[in-house]
Amino acid sequence: MADQFLRGRVALVTGGSRGIGAAICRALAAAGASVAINYRNRTDEAERLAKELQGKGARAIPCQADVSNTASVTTLVAAVQSGLGPVDILINNAGIAITRGIDDLTEADFDTTIAVNLKSAFLCTQAVVPGMRARKWGRIVNISSGAARGAGAIGPHYNASKAGMEGLTRGYAARLVKDGITVNAVAPSLIATDMMQDQKALVSRIPLGRFGQPDEVAKAVMLLLDNPYMTGQTIAMSGGMAFN
């Protein structure tokens, strides 16, 4: 059995029904945390993952919400508290990747990307921080991207959303460190998720010679959750493409 260092803690993972989010949910459950699997549209996948985790002895519930909407986030956090308890761990993983070139990038594309990728992290953080402060313990991890610092393949709107997330990470980390709350980010590049299904040619850019795996991202998240001295940092994962 894995080290249960999160036993008694409650975790909320946004965009948790598949890919990186689902891998993080599995790692959290293995470490003893109760897990709220947030999703927007993929009900079947979220319910299937919750049952999988429950079958392994974990407390897990699916929680539908659009985390880019204030009222939905308020309802979400209340549902998690009712179903599992107050949120101790927040993983801001919800994201969208609308691939656009400069010439076909629209204002709507930009606004949607910022809302889903960046505003959602702000709203969810604001919603859970008061409780974390009251209990003098909290862990927040934001899932960024190599596109926060590099060119990326999706577009400047995506770069902006992920760079903003890392700025948000540092801003909260500086202001919450005395409250026992750490805030960090993980910035993966080219991970084998649904987003990469039609991007096989990109493997040639990776010195390691393969896409990263969702469970490898989850391992980086768990490292941050287990380290009370590390805050305001971004762990980059690129298979050797770039170095911070």
Q: Is 158 a catalytic residue?
A: yes
CB within 8 A of 143, min separation 6: which ones? 20, 91, 92, 93, 95, 185, 186, 188, 217, 221
Among 76, 126, 97, residue whose Cα is nearest residue 194: 97
**C-alpha closest to that of 99 among 165, 166, 159, 42:** 159
CA geometry: angle at 9 spanning 64 and 14, to 5°?
25
Going by C-beta distance under 8 Å and a sequence separation of 6 or more, which residues neighbour residue 34?
A: 9, 10, 11, 58, 59, 60, 84, 85
Active-site amino acid positions: 158
